[in-house]
Structure formats: structure tokens, C-alpha cells
Structure 1
Amino acid sequence: MNFIKKTNILHIFLLLVILSSCAKEKKKVELNDAQLPKSTLPKMKPLSKPEPKLTAAYINSKKLEIDSFYKKNWPNNSANGSFLVAKNGQIIYEKYEGYANFRDKIEITKTTPLHLASVSKVITATAILKLVNAKRIELDQKVNTILKEFPYPDVTIKTLLNHRSGMRNYAYFTDRDKTVWDRHNILTNQDILTIMATKDIGLEFKTDTRFSYCNTNYAMLALIVEKITKLPFKEAMKQIIFDPLGMKNTYVFDYDKDKDSAVTSYKGNKVEIGKDYLDAVYGDKNIYSTPRDLLKFDRARSSANFLTPALQAMVYKGYSNERKGTKNYGLGIRMVNWETGQNFYFHNGWWHGNTSSYITLRKEGVTIIALSNKFTRKTYDVRKLAVLFGDYPFKLRDE
């Protein structure tokens, strides 16, 4: 009997050890976005595995060609901003030139956050997509089910993301009629929503009948982020994207706190451009960052655990097919789709004197970033560098 009792006790002890071990292993399993508790925000994750290492010979050969392009595009050190080219997350070439503030001679460095202008839309879209992935919201959900005073019943989150909502640009309807808005007052995202709800601002066209790029879409998406997360947009972005990816030099501009400390914007002739009544609106613009931080962001978006495969495919699908052509727009990303089957994904930006270009060559694992706070269209020419990495029909050099 004693032997049987001892055997049973041993069996029970072993069973408890096994159950305890299983429980610990279960805790180690990462929850996907949809399994997160409702009080927990979905978070971006860096790539879990290192990407293939580039050889020194490969880096040096590309560096020579990029340097030649850089010197031709911005001769005599005429650039005023930051520039980076990387493959597999490894920096091949980077350059930081000019001044964040000409008056005080504050130089631009690798840690200087510059205004991303409309490249901010890619980041705003990313936060929305993570919330969709976590099933907090749905792509086809009507906006008026989240923002109760939103006046356009057919507009969905998806038609905000792909610019098919039909809404008018807030910069126009607040500028042309003083009865709509007094430009002596700083405009906010909530003000835009209230104006549309109370001032009879009609749609430009019926929702989802055509594409029209419109900043109002992304100002509303920022309000949706706030409503769903119950956090200010700048804090929600920190928790969902910036902090998890270690984007230490990236932030959402806060007009009251940052207007005197943010990097100054200039015309091409170095004349300072001051702030105006539109500078407090965020989501469509007003994220400041660096190329190195954007590289972290880009590689995280290439990760298998960024979104479900089905949702990821929807991001890079073109939705503006009313007219035959190569230019298109996905969910927060611009694209060029050639008949050869080659696709080019990017987003440009322009606000005041700030210009920006974000290029992600998805097949080749290449990231190209150019930012400037002194107005120049040369920022957009960095797309030509795609020919160094894949079969893209751009001309690197003028013939």
C-alpha cells in the first residue's frame, strides 16, 4: 500500500510539473493583433530575424554609383536635408547637409527630425491598419459609426485610406469663406470635423466613384485613431509605432509645444517660412522623423507579422482605376504599376518648404529616403536610384 501511495504521489507531482511547464510555454507564445485584450494597443514589431548580410564589395559598388548621383543631383553641397539608401536594413549610403536653422547655424545631423509632409500619411495609415488587423475597426466600417457627427454616411475607413471619399480639402474650404473659418484662429482636426458637420460642406463627388487625393481624409483618420485608442494622436503613435520600433527621433508635431523648437522651413532662396493657421492639423502631415528611424519603420512594414497576408495584399493593391494608366494609390501608399508586372511603391510630400520622398522597393528589400527643409523638387529625383537595384524604367542619368 505504501508503495502504491508513493507511486501515486510521484505521478501527481510529475503531472503538476508538466502542467506548470506547459503553462509557462503558453505564456511565451506571442499573441497576434486580433488576440490582444481590448485595453491593449496593437504594436509594430521589428523584424525578428536578421536579413541577409551585404558583402563589402556590393556595398562599395553601389556606394560609388549613389555618390555620383548625389553629387550630380545636389552639386556644390547644395542639399539641405538628409538622405539614406539601404538594402536589407543595412545602410549603403547616407548624407546629412545644411542647416535646421540658418540663423543660428544649427546643422542637420542623423538625429535631426525633419518634417515629413505627406509621407506622414504612410505612418498614419500604418496605425489604422494595425487597428484593423486587431479587429478594433473594419476597413469597410462607416466613419459615422466612430465619429458620430461625421456628415457623410457612405464614407468608410477604406475610402479615407485610398482617397475615394469625395471629401473636399480642408485647406480650401477654410481659406475661401470667412463665415466658415476665421484664419486668425489655429485650425484643429476637430474643427475640420465640426465645420463639415455644421457648415454644409458638400462632397466634391459621390463617395467611391473616383480617386481624388485629399488631406482631409487623413485628418479624419487621425481622429479615428484617437477615438479608438482613447489617446491623443501623438501618444497613440508613440505606443503603436514609434516606441516599439525604437524610433527615438520621431514625433507628432504639437503646435503649442513644438512651434518654436521644431526644425525651421525655408523657401528655395533660404527665406524662412513661418507657421500659419493650418499648421496644427495632423495625420495628413506633421510627423517629424529621420531617415534612420524611417528605415526601422520600413523594415517593420516588410515583416511577415506586420499584417495578415490578406490585409497586406490590400495595402499594395491599386484602387484608382477609373482611367488607364500606370499611376495608382493603395491604402496609404502611392504606386506605379507597369504592364510588365513591375511595381514601384513610394510616397512623396510637400508642406511649406519641406519636401520628402519615401521609397520602398519591396522585392529587393531596398529603402530610399530623402528629406529637405529648404524647398527643392530634387528630393523627388531619388526614385531614379531604383534602377541600381531592379528592373525599373527610370533613367539614372540624362542622355
Structure 2
Amino acid sequence: MKMSFLKKANIPQILFSVLVLSSCGKDKNNSENEAVKEKDTLGKMVPMGPEKKITAAYVNSVKGRINHFYNKNWPNNSMNGSFLVAKNGQIIFERYNGFANKNEGTKITADTPVQIASVSKVLTATAVLKLINLGKLDLDQKVNTILKTFPYEECTVRMLLCHRSGMRNYAYFTDRDKSVWDRHNQLTNKDILDILATKNIGLESRVGTRFAYCNTNYAMLALIIEKITGLTYKEAMSQMIFKPLGMTHTYVFDDDKERKNIVPSYKGNGVEIGFDYLDNVYGDKNIFSTVRDLLKFDRARNAPNFLKPALLKEVYTGQSNERKGTKNYGLGIRMINWETGQNFYFHNGWWHGNTSSYITLQKEGVTIIALSNKMTRNTYAVRKLAPVFGDYPFQFKDEE
């Protein structure tokens, strides 16, 4: 009787203790979760996660047309590079052909990183957008509030992203005047900023008045990434994008350290193309990657949690509407907007003998990527595959 009373009397106390311990456990878990969140001061990319499985019947329905396209554009496996088509992150078709290095006799494989040229701009823009998304940076912030010596007062981060700064291409104003730059010296991003700040480099057009594709914009964005993160561009890209997404064969090229180790590029006749004084500038180019790594990147950009909805809408809204037409540029992405309401998002690249094309068909969940280290414009023809997957008005003829 006495024992029963004691047990009964302790029930409220026991329940109270359980609730307290439970609450402490939750508080501890919440604190740990908050600590994890606080550690991500970079806005790291997050992988897409599982997507809807595609069926063998679907693969068979499109694979023949892709194979036909490939054989027509690169007969007898003449492509020197990598080619991949995927849906929902699942590879439908891929090919790897040609030499990574002719002198050494090494062949291009799925693990061979090649220079992706201006497709690098999509990755640079992504890092900037993630910093904006995190509140580290404002889209319409004046550039000279970040890069203090930047001379064009009205230019904003948005204008750099969508090529409306009015700046001249650094390749031109450093090439023609020795008083501006001695081409015997390697040019760096910081050098470009110093030249802009001290050499009275005029604008091609008034800031914010028109679209003009210009590599200088993305060289400046790379410096902004460095300023905001406190890391080198190379390390920031690795921590924000490459490592979180498992892009194990992707890196930013450092001409001073890696010249002997990279996959070289070639002219159309197979002659190797050497380096020049512009090869140390990054942000606009100089990312080396593979088609499989870029597929991971594409799916992460299409993940629901990539950016806040309002910012994401800005990315895929044409920012250059002074001339009526279908071609436009968003925030780090090219686009074609047809009157039917259909939109096509992509970015091409060229540097030395490297050509690249990245296409993301968002409605269909399709990714098309082609990379070549031997000069050919056929890389850009991959857009003709879009009609295989959706209502895109490009010419695709099986008989071609």
C-alpha cells in the first residue's frame, strides 16, 4: 500500500522530468541545427536529390535521334571532347572521343577536365547569386561600395551579371597600348581593376543603357566574390559549388602553377594552341570541368531550394529589352524568348581552341552539354537537339 502510494506520488515528478529532458534534447538539437546553419556563411550549393526515374522505353524513344545527330555532326567520331544528354539527372547518351593530349597519346574520358571557357560565367554568376541570396550582397548594390577603386560610380552588381556596365573588354584595352599594359607580363583580375582605376579607360556606352557582352564584367564579379568571402576565387568556388556538389573533376585553372598539367587545346587542324598573357584572368573563363560534373551543377541549379523565388525570377528574366527580339540575357545565362511563351536557356563558350555549350531545358528536366578542346563550331549545334524533348523551334531533321 505504501509502495503504491509512493509510485503514484512520483508520477507527476517523473512526467515533469521527462518533459524537461525532452525539451533540453530539443533545445540541444535546435542549437546544433542552428550551429550547422551558422557555419554556412557562403551559401553553399545543395545537390538536387532524387528525381523521377526515367523508363527504358523513354530512353529508347529518344536515343536513336540523339545518336543520329551525333554521327551527323561528328562523323567517324571526329569530335575531340565530351558530349552528354540527360533527363532528370539520369544520363541518356554520352560520348568521349579524341585526345586529351596528342603528344602524350592520352584520350579524353569521362574524368578528363577541359576548359569550359565562357560557360564558366554561369558558375561565377551562381556564386554571386548565392551570396545575394544569403544577404551578403545586394543585386543592385554599387560595385564601388565593394571594390573601392572601381571607377564607374553608377555600375551595379546586376549590370555586371547581365552585361550592361558599358565597360570595354580587357582583352582589347590591354592589347593595343603598351602604356596600359606590357603583354610580356601575365595579366590578373587585380591588374584589370588597377588599370580601370588609373588609366582613364573610357566606356563603350553609358552605364546601364545597353547590353554589350563583355568579359571584364565577370573578371570584376570574381573579385567581388573574393572580397565578400575573404577567399580566393579558386577556393570560394571549390567551397561554394564544387565540393558540396561532388564535382570532383572540376577546378579553377591557375596558369602559374598548372600550365603543364592541364588538357591543352588545338586548332581545327590539330596544331596545339599555346598560352598568352590573358590566361591568368578568371571568372569569365578558366574553369576546367567534365560533362558529368556540369550535370550535377545543372541539377542543383534546378533544385527547389536553389534561390529565393523573387531572385530566381530575376535570373531567368531578360535584362536587355532595348531592342525587340527573341535573344536576351538574364543574370549569368543566355536565353531565347519566343512569342509563344517558350523559353530556351543556355550559355556557350570559346577560348583558344576550347568550345563549350551548356543547355538546360527546365520544363523537360533535360540537360545537354558539349565540350571540345579542338576548335569546332559544331559544339554549338547541340541546340538542335531541343526539339527532341519539347516544343522548341530549332530545325531538327532526321535526314540531315
TM range (shorter): over 0.9
Distance 2:206 2:198 in 1: 19
**Could you say which residue in structure 1 is the equivalent of 2:47?**
46
TM-score, normalised with respect to structure 2: 0.95
Matched, 1:355 2:333: no
**Could you say which residue in structure 1 is the equivalent of 2:22?**
18
Distance 2:330 2:80 in 1: 30
1:38 deviates by 7.9
**Could you say which residue in structure 2 is the equivalent of 1:388?**
388
1:27 deviates by 5.1
Distance 2:248 2:76 in 1: 31
Determine if contact 1:82/1:95 at 8 Å carries over to the other structure: yes
Distance 2:131 2:241 in 1: 12
Trace 1:128-207 onto structure 2 (pairs within 5 A).
128-207=128-207
1:256 deviates by 1.1
Q: Secondary structure at the match of 2:357?
A: strand
**Could you say which residue in structure 1 is the equivalent of 2:308?**
308
Distance 1:275 1:210 in 2: 33
The superposition leaves residues 77-107 of structure 1 with CA deviations (integer Å, 9 ceiling, x where unpaired) of 1100000000000000000000011111110
Distance 1:102 1:156 in 2: 44
Matched, 1:59 2:63: no
**Could you say which residue in structure 2 is the equivalent of 1:219?**
219
**Could you say which residue in structure 2 is the equivalent of 1:98?**
98
Determine if contact 1:36/1:42 at 8 Å carries over to the other structure: no
Unaligned stretches of 5+ in structure 2?
none
**Could you say which residue in structure 2 is the equivalent of 1:115?**
115
1:295 deviates by 0.3
Task: Give the RMSD, CA atoms, in angstroms.
Answer: 1.7
TM-score, normalised with respect to structure 1: 0.96
Unaligned stretches of 5+ in structure 1?
none
Q: Secondary structure at the match of 1:63?
A: helix
Q: Secondary structure at the match of 2:396?
A: coil
Distance 1:28 1:93, change over 3 A: farther
Distance 1:208 1:349, change over 3 A: same
1:20 deviates by 2.6
Distance 1:310 1:320 in 2: 18
Name which of structure 1's ranges 330-339 and 62-71 shifts more when overlaid on structure 2: 62-71
The superposition leaves residues 252-273 of structure 1 with CA deviations (integer Å, 9 ceiling, x where unpaired) of 0011111111101100001110
Name which of structure 1's ranges 281-290 and 5-14 shifts more when overlaid on structure 2: 5-14
Determine if contact 1:167/1:217 at 8 Å carries over to the other structure: yes
The number of residue pairs the alignment matches comes to 395
Distance 1:39 1:202 in 2: 40
Distance 1:67 1:356 in 2: 19
Distance 1:156 1:166 in 2: 11
Distance 1:30 1:70, change over 3 A: farther
The superposition leaves residues 105-156 of structure 1 with CA deviations (integer Å, 9 ceiling, x where unpaired) of 1100000001000000000000000000000000000111111111111111
**Could you say which residue in structure 2 is the equivalent of 1:125?**
125
Name which of structure 1's ranges 256-265 and 176-185 shifts more when overlaid on structure 2: 256-265
Q: Which amino acid aligns with 2:289?
A: S
1:246 deviates by 0.1
Q: Which amino acid aligns with 1:167?
A: M
Distance 1:322 1:81 in 2: 37
**Could you say which residue in structure 1 is the equivalent of 2:241?**
241
The superposition leaves residues 221-274 of structure 1 with CA deviations (integer Å, 9 ceiling, x where unpaired) of 000000111011010000000000000000000111111111011000011100
1:3 deviates by 7.1
Distance 1:261 1:240 in 2: 24
Distance 1:30 1:345 in 2: 36
Distance 2:40 2:388 in 1: 46
Dislocated runs of 4+, deviation >2 Å? 1-9, 20-31, 35-40
1:60 deviates by 1.7
Larger radius of gyration: 2
Distance 2:6 2:227 in 1: 65
Determine if contact 1:36/1:134 at 8 Å carries over to the other structure: no
Determine if contact 1:318/1:330 at 8 Å carries over to the other structure: yes
Percent identical among aligned pairs is 67
